[in-house]
A and B are shown apart, each in its own frame.
Chain A
């Protein structure tokens, strides 16, 4: 009764080398990706610091530019004021010269006892002063 037990063939051995190769390749990939992650994190931190420094430099430049523009505007305004005063003085001096020039000529003629020059100069001074 027990002489006819069928023997079932055992399955072939699993391909262990293929699994080992996969594990090794995946390990290499993990190491590579870990290195890439560390590298990108380092690069990001460096870029962030550089970004912060650049922002500080931009702030300094902006402040300098604002100050310089303020100084320039102030100087140009002062220049305009001085130019206006110069124009006023030139106009006033031109008006004063009408009287002062004959008076000056009169004095110069009187100092040099130049009667011929003195009389017309005094007359012009009397007319314009």
Chain B
């Protein structure tokens, strides 16, 4: 072993140590001391990974999950609201129809009441007319002359026919 002379100090060429010239994936060779004696083995420093990324990853995953949940339930909420609005619109239409039907029902009830009253009056008149006409037909069908039947029929005509 000889100590190099100070005036012949070896300076490594810069190109050899430049990382730009190092093929990718290969670590640059350890620098050679000027005296050519290899350096004792030094463990390479651990890769600089920086601070742990676990919290960032976990928080990002959590944020993604909550974003998905919020988006999903927003869509579900909007769907429910749309369905409810559609049903409410249908119900409003049916209530308008119901109000219309109720109004027609009141008119129909009033008309039916009037018609039933008219029918009752006509039925009473019909009964009187029938009695009067049957008596008159019987009376005029009899031969001339007073008989008990003619007297009875005349009595019916006398009582009933003026009520018409």
B56 touches A19 (CB 8 A): yes
Given A6-B33, A33-B67, A89-B122, A96–B48 Cβ distance below 8 Å?
Answer: no
Q: How many residues of A contact B (CB 8 A)?
A: 70
A8 touches B162 (CB 8 A): no
**A55: shortest Cβ distance to chain B, in Å?**
6
A10 to B59: give the CA distance in the assembly, Å.
Answer: 31
- Point out the residues of chain A lying under 8 angstroms from B51, CB to CB: 14, 16, 19
Partner of B112, one of A16, A82, A107: A82
- Point out the residues of chain A lying under 8 angstroms from B162, CB to CB: 104, 107-108, 111
**CB-CB nearest in chain A for B78:** A47
Partner of B126, one of A34, A92, A106: A92
A96 touches B112 (CB 8 A): no
A62 touches B94 (CB 8 A): yes
Given A68-B98, A69-B101, A103–B60 Cβ distance below 8 Å?
Answer: no
**A120: shortest Cβ distance to chain B, in Å?**
15
Q: Mark A65-103, 1 if CB is under 8 A from B, else 0.
A: 100110110011011001101100110110011011101
Q: Mark B29-55, 1 if CB is under 8 A from A, else 0.
A: 001011101011010010010110101
A82 touches B73 (CB 8 A): no
Given A61-B95, A129-B136, A26–B59 Cβ distance below 8 Å?
Answer: yes
Q: How many residues of B contact A (CB 8 A)?
A: 71
A55 touches B33 (CB 8 A): no
**CB-CB nearest in chain B for A103:** B136
Partner of A68, one of B87, B101, B132: B101
- Point out the residues of chain A lying under 8 angstroms from B118, CB to CB: 86
Does A36 touch B at the CB level, under 8 Å?
Answer: yes
**CB-CB nearest in chain B for A78:** B112
A25 to B98: give the CA distance in the assembly, Å.
Answer: 58
A-B interface, 7 closest residue pairs, ranked by CB to CB distance from nearest? A33-B66, A26-B59, A40-B73, A96-B129, A47-B80, A14-B50, A103-B136
10 A-B pairs within 8 Å (CB atoms) are namely: A4-B34, A11-B48, A26-B59, A33-B67, A40-B74, A48-B80, A61-B91, A68-B105, A99-B136, A110-B158
Apart from the given pairs A14-B50, A27-B59, A29-B63, 9 other A-B contacts in the complex at a CB distance below 8 Å: A4-B34, A5-B39, A8-B42, A23-B56, A47-B81, A47-B84, A75-B112, A96-B132, A104-B162
